[in-house]
């Protein structure tokens, strides 16, 4: 029981962490609330399904191809649909919702609404204390940790990372210091969508692929981001594991928990917000006018 909770919490927590950090990154840099973020994750899952099942490519190659394709798609949609309306906050919200719905419909047209699945990268499992742990789960967790480390190094050690952090801190001053705002925003969008695609790639063997799979993680991802503080990567990371473990606890300990897992996780978010309106690690902005 205990181990079940730990495994399930770690896996869903890592998935939320990846999604939420990508979402947080683009919000911090360009102030874009990208509702379509999890739709990119869904598209990546479908790309992998297409390459492995229909084209017969290897798993690793199809993952890489999927990530590259989704990044291209993300940059194109950013350039043509999001950037022209960036100044209107409400319009961006609606635009990205419409984008997500459009992607869902396109996938529905191409692959129909059937539930599909992708075989795992590595088979087999071992058991500790009567709990099956699949190697795929270990691999997913390892990959998530590796990517998060790489992202942290990129943000802290490279010039692009410095520029991204500058933009997140103060866009106007960053612009005055000679940082090309548009280019950095584009690069951040690429990284953010890439993270979503990567999440899709590592999670796809563990879940069922269908065109509506973007809705459920969307809510929890937003809860994570709000809980941790908008734009704060550390907050998103911690919030993801808090909510991931909460969900696991509710599912395993409360009868009918599967229905209530979302409710309990979201109630925790609301409780935290009542105590700390800016989230765990958010900065209380001086009345942004």
Partner 1 sequence: MGMLSYYFRKSLTVCKDEVLVLPSRVAVGVFVVTILVLPLFSQSPYLLRILILSSIFAIFAASWDLLSGFTGQMNFGHALFFGVGAYSAALLNIHGHLPPWASIPLGALGAVLTGLIVGIPCLRLRGTYLALTTLAFPVILLGIIFAVPDITGGELGLSGLSRLTGSRLWDYYLTSVIMLVSCAVMWKITDSNTGIIFHAIREDELAVRASGINTIRYKLLAFSLGGFFAGISGGLYAHFMRIAGPSTLEVSMSFTVVIWAVFGGIVTIYGPVGAVFILFPLLEFLRFWPEYRTLAFALVILLILLYMPEGLFPYLRDKLETQCPRCKIRNVAKRKTCRICAAPLN
Q: Where along the sequence are the contacts to partner 1 (CB under 8 A)?
A: 27, 33, 81, 84-85, 88-91, 93-95, 97-99, 101-102, 104-106, 108-109, 215, 218-219, 222-223, 225-226, 230, 256, 259-264, 266-267, 269-270, 273-274, 277-279, 287-289
Q: Is the CB of 158 or the CB of 267 nearer to partner 1?
A: 267
* DSSP per-residue letters across 33-76: --TTHHHHHHHHHHHHHIIIIIS---HHHHHHHHHHHHHHHHHH
CB of 279 to partner 1, least distance (A): 8
Give the C-alpha distances (Å, rounded to integers) separating 272 from 154, 240, 243, 257: 31, 14, 12, 21
Q: Helix %, strand %, coil % for the chain, to 5?
A: 75, 5, 20
The whole-angstrom separation of Cα 189 and Cα 78 is 8
Residue 92 CB, nearest approach to partner 1 (Å):
9
| Identity of the residue, 158 or 263, whose beta carbon is nearer to partner 1 in the bound complex | 263
Distances (CA, A) of 102 to 3, 36, 127, 203, 211: 40, 10, 43, 23, 11
| Nearer to partner 1 (CB atom), residue 13 or residue 231 | 231
The least CB distance from residue 168 to partner 1, in Å, is: 14
Q: Which is nearer to partner 1, 143 or 250 (CB)?
A: 250
Identify which of residues 189 and 218 has a Cβ nearer to partner 1 in the complex.
Answer: 218
* Smallest separation, CB 85 to partner 1 (Å): 5
Least Å distance, CB 155 to partner 1, is 22
Tokens of 64: 């890489």
CA distance 52 to 163: 37
The nearest distance, CB 33 to partner 1, in angstroms, is: 6
* Minimum CB distance to partner 1 smaller for 166 or for 273: 273
């Amino acid at each position: 029981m205990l181990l079940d909770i730990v495994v399930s919490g770690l896996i869903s927590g890592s998935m939320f962490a990846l999604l939420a950090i990508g979402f947080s990154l683009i919000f911090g840099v360009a102030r874009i609330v990208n509702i379509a973020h999890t739709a990119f994750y869904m598209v990546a899952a479908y790309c992998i399904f297409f390459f492995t099942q229909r084209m017969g490519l290897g798993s690793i190659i199809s993952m890489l191809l999927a990530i590259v394709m989704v990044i291209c798609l993300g940059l194109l949609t950013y350039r043509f649909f999001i950037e022209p309306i960036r100044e209107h906050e409400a319009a961006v919200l609606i635009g990205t919702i419409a984008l997500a719905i459009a992607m869902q419909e396109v996938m529905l047209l191409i692959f129909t609404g059937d539930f599909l699945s992708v075989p795992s990268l590595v088979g087999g499992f071992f058991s500790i204390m009567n709990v099956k742990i699949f190697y795929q789960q270990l691999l997913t967790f390892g990959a998530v940790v590796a990517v998060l480390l790489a992202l942290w190094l990129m943000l802290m050690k490279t010039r692009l990372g410095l520029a991204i952090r500058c933009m997140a801190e103060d866009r106007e001053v960053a612009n005055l210091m000679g940082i090309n705002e548009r280019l950095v925003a584009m690069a951040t969008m690429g990284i953010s969508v890439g993270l979503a695609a990567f999440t899709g790639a590592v999670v796809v063997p563990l879940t069922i692929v269908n065109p509506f799979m973007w809705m459920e993680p969307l809510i929890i991802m937003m809860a994570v981001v709000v809980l941790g503080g908008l734009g704060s990567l550390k907050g998103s990371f911690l919030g993801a594991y808090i909510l991931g473990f909460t969900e696991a606890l509710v599912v395993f300990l409360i009868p009918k928990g599967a229905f209530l897992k979302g409710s309990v996780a979201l109630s925790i978010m609301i409780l935290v917000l009542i105590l700390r309106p800016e989230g765990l690690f958010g900065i209380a902005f001086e009345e942004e006018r």
